[in-house]
Amino acid sequence: MDELVWLVLLVLAFPVMAIVALVLSLKHRGRIRSLEEKVAQLDQRLQAAGLGQIPPSEALVPPSPPGSPLARFDPRNAASEAVSAPGEAVPPPPDGPGTTGAPPLVPAQVAGEAPRPTVPEPAWMQPRPPTVPLRERFAGFEERLGARWAVWVGGIALALGGVFLVRYAVEQDLIGPLARVVLGLLLAALLLGAGEWLRRVDRKDGFAGLPAAHVPSVLTAAGTMTAFGSLYAAYELYHLIAPGAAFVLLALTGIATVFAALLHGPALAVLGFAGAAATPLLVTSSDPNAYGVAILIIAVGASALAVARLKRWRLLALLAVAGMAGWGLALLAFEVPQATPASGLIGLVLLALTAALLTPGHLWGPPPGRRPDLVSSLGAAGAVLVALAAAVHGGVAFGPLAAYVAAALGALALAWRAPAATLAALAVALTAPVILGVWDFPPDPGSAVAPAGPVAGSVPGPSHLPLGHFIAFGFALAGVQLALGLLGARRAGRAFASIGWAGASSLGAVLLLVAAYERLTDFEKSVPFAALGLLLALVLAFWAESAQRARPSGAPAAAFAAGSVVSLALALAFALEKGWLTVGLALAALAVAWVATKRTLPGLRQLSAGLGLLVAAHVGADPTIAGDQLGTTPIFNWLLWGYGVPAAAFAASAHLLGRTADDWPRRVHEGLALLFAVLLAALEVFHLAHPDQILAERSGLFETGLLASIYGAYAVGLLWLAEVRARPLYGLFARLVGALAALFAVGTLIGPNPFATKASVGGPVFNDLLTAYALPAILALLFAARVPASERPTRLIARGLAVVLGLAYVTFEVSRLFQGPVLDPAAISSAEWYAYSAAWLGFGILLLALGLWRRSRTLRLASAAVMVVTVLKVFLSDMSDLEGALRAFSFIGLGLVLVAMGWLYQRLLARDAGARKAPPPAP
């Protein structure tokens, strides 16, 4: 109970602190104004006397009296110029701003002598930078605490108090509904009146207040929020006023907020809009109505946009646009009744307000500029997005669809009338295909079941629109965008407008074609759509030539040409089966790169790289490209075409683009070519191991080892290419793939280990052990040989991995010769255990021979490590586990090998010592 009491007291302390701070600030305001007037009078008297402002350091120390020893060194004493010893030259007083002290003391200079240099003062005598007194620090903190923070906290407390007062009255049923609303409006009127009275008093007294905490503005904002909450409660909670009256009252409150913001500054407008927009969240209802929220948001948003236009407050305009669009989407997310039409209404009103108030050079908008306008573009895009969400939420019924069509055509008309809002056409291009993608078809006429095929699964209902409406919508919007795109690109006076129209029209038409193809065919073969793709390619090609003649700069022509190439690739994909969409887009990227080498059109190189990235994204969504219909033939299956053709296309694109520049589009194509080659190898291995399900989670020894071998060979080849062609990207990719190969190689020791899985490894020599351990070990040595000597850690890791894999291969191969294709650690015999020692000794001798031949100290050290492991095995295991002749042979063989190795090392060391002592050859 005590904790609850303290919590309540702590909450009540905030408004009390705010009120106390407000009273104290008003009490001391007159005293501060009196002090400011006295300082101003003193400054005027000093200016009239010709003295100006006296620095503090001079005001505290009086000038030296004439005749004193320091008089001639005091620059403020007029008699110092006449006081000088015979034969001495008195240095003049320092000149320049900020000079307040006497010049440095130097020995007197006798007439006729050479000038003596002035010795600078030591560091400890230099003046220290001024420090802020502790009193001033506390004064600044006191100002922030008492004059700023307290005002803001108080304003927030008052605003929330006005809203929560209405809510508390509702929950406790203290008074009647009408009285509750009247009290809320009275509190709002008192706050607004207090803010206006303080504003006039401050203006009369010449007190402007702190910019970050203007008390009249805070009070006015709190009153505005309270008024909005009260009126909204009267309409939504108690139904005291009709929707029309609520709209009028809220609109009048918004107009009052407009005038208040014009008088009190942008802070009031931002705070008032935010508080009013949050009112539906604070004042809840058991029977919500989306139209009430829409009316409130429209009234507040219109008021804020009007203020933003009059005062040119860009931040307020962006806040209002975001608030209206956010509430339009929130109504749909909260599943409020009548949310679909209310959200569509918000979208249409937002578009109308954007066209009337925010668009430069249009109606009451700001003056036109030379660049695209962000605020108007975002306003139109937000309106189209809200209308799209309403249409999708409503199942593409006639009403929501009509609202979206009106918003889309309105955005296109706005972009046509105002060049600054050209980017609004891009919003239509991106959202219109979504309508086709979610279109819900009715069942077949005369049938009680839904149609079969790609449009199966639709539920009969009144919201379904027939196929004719689907086709009319797609063709109408595509035609409008194509026509406006060509005409807009030719008539636009600004370069950005012409590029915007060309890009938006090309992108919109292509996306509409893809969306219709997906909805009607489910990405199956379709000759009609292939014909439509070919027709669109021809139209865009003609548009490109026309735009090139109208604008020699070539930017719009590049956009149309890119759309033509993409449409041609889509036609190829539509006409062929399986995953030819990926292949078609890759070939489109190659075609765009080829066009970029023939025509110097801006943006084509970047578009080619963008198409390549789109192919990569599509492959990430569907790695098999063609689903389960890959074929059963190893290597020569659909994967070879689905990944091989894009890899070759990207390599050719990189070669074409590299003729003119080594920029990021070329490097993107190079990276994609390398990536698709690696993916092709990996998926071919998966297909070879699991033809029925290549993405199976299980992985055996053969599959893992083959991946390690392929990745290792790929890394070695890329290192060679990096040296030959001097391409750092190849070297970077080689190291990445090499790390992947090492990961798979280590995986063969941990996961599908033959002793752990007890699976068959195959024949005596050509088996899974060869691909899993021997080949990766050899490739690791080759990789280490290719890596530059400066990367010593990488070389050591690669060589160490080769030794481990080689030793594992020798061990498992010996076990294969004794046990057959299935290895079991429990079935190891004494002879097999002895053979391990002999095989390890042979492996160590082989490493030593390679080290001597290659003059590699690393290989010799690896041989020594293998020998140490063998010695430990012989003395710790063979001595107790082996018996008879096998024990003797184990120790005899180990001794002979060790003696031979010692002799070789002695010869090696003696030869190295002789080479170091030999005299250098005669010149």
**516 exposure class (CB count in 10 Å sphere: 0-12, 13-18, 19+):** buried
Contact 708, 649 (CB under 8 A): no
418 and 531 part of one domain: no
277 and 329 part of one domain: no
User: Does residue 3 belong to any structural domain of this protein?
Assistant: no
Range of the domain at 549: 495-576
Residue-level pLDDT at 801: 92
How far apart are the C-alpha atoms of 804 and 233, rounded to whole Å?
A: 77
Q: What angle do CA 287, 291, 297 make, to 5 degrees?
A: 115
Residue-level pLDDT at 724: 85
Q: Name the domain boundary from 428, 443, 458.
A: 443
Whose CA is closest to 417, among 491, 347, 478? Answer: 491
* 69-86 residues labelled b (16+ CB within 10 A) or e (exposed): eebbbbbebeebeeeeee
Dihedral sign (CA 589, 593, 595, 601): positive
Q: How far is CA 378 from CA 314, 373, 382, 384, 430, in A?
A: 12, 9, 6, 10, 14
How far apart are the C-alpha atoms of 625 and 608, rounded to whole Å?
A: 21
Please tell me the total count of domains within the chain: 4
User: Does residue 103 belong to any structural domain of this protein?
Assistant: no
User: Does residue 858 belong to any structural domain of this protein?
Assistant: yes
| Digit-coded pLDDT (tens) for 96-108 | 444 444 444 444 4
Whose CA is closest to 433, among 512, 503, 509? Answer: 512
373 and 522 part of one domain: no
Residue bearing tokens 């009338």? 417
* Three-state DSSP class for residue 91: coil
Dihedral sign (CA 25, 26, 27, 33): positive
318 and 256 part of one domain: no
272 and 159 part of one domain: yes
171 and 253 part of one domain: yes
212 and 345 part of one domain: no
Number of Cβ within 10 Å of residue 766's Cβ equals: 9
| Digit-coded pLDDT (tens) for 325-358 | 998 998 888 877 788 899 999 999 999 999 998 8
Residue 803: both structure tokens together: 């030794």
Q: How many CA atoms lie within 13 A of 131 on its CB side?
A: 5
User: Does residue 354 belong to any structural domain of this protein?
Assistant: yes
165 and 236 part of one domain: yes
Instruction: Please report the beta strands in 584-659, taking only residues with DSSP state E, as ranges in sequence order.
Output: none
Task: Tell me how many helices (H) and strands (E) the chain has.
Answer: 34, 0
User: Does residue 690 belong to any structural domain of this protein?
Assistant: no
Residue 124: both structure tokens together: 């400890």
Contact 882, 834 (CB under 8 A): yes
The single-letter DSSP state of residue 789 is T
254 and 321 part of one domain: no
Element (DSSP H or E) covering residue 570: helix 555-575
Q: How many CA atoms lie within 13 A of 452 on its CB side?
A: 0
Contact 756, 703 (CB under 8 A): no
Number of Cβ within 10 Å of residue 889's Cβ equals: 15
357 and 243 part of one domain: no
Per run of 10 residues, the mean pLDDT along the chain (length 923 residues) is 37 39 47 68 70 46 50 46 42 45 45 49 49 48 46 55 59 71 80 76 51 62 76 78 74 70 70 69 66 84 85 86 90 83 92 91 82 87 93 87 92 89 89 88 49 43 68 90 85 74 89 89 83 90 80 72 82 74 83 80 79 84 70 77 90 91 90 91 82 67 89 92 86 91 90 84 87 92 89 89 91 90 84 81 80 76 78 65 60 63 58 55 49
Helix axes 215-236, 150-172, angle to 10 degrees: 20
How far apart are the C-alpha atoms of 481 and 433, rounded to whole Å?
A: 12
User: Does residue 752 belong to any structural domain of this protein?
Assistant: no
- 760 has which bridge partners? 822
Q: Name the domain boundary from 576, 599, 616.
A: 576
280 and 412 part of one domain: no
Phi then psi dihedrals of residue 781, to 5 deg: -65, -40
Contact 596, 557 (CB under 8 A): no
270 and 160 part of one domain: yes
Residue-level pLDDT at 18: 41
User: Does residue 193 belong to any structural domain of this protein?
Assistant: yes
Q: What is the pTM of this model?
A: 0.57
Q: Name the domain boundary from 544, 576, 608.
A: 576
The amino acid at residue 868 is V
User: Does residue 821 belong to any structural domain of this protein?
Assistant: no
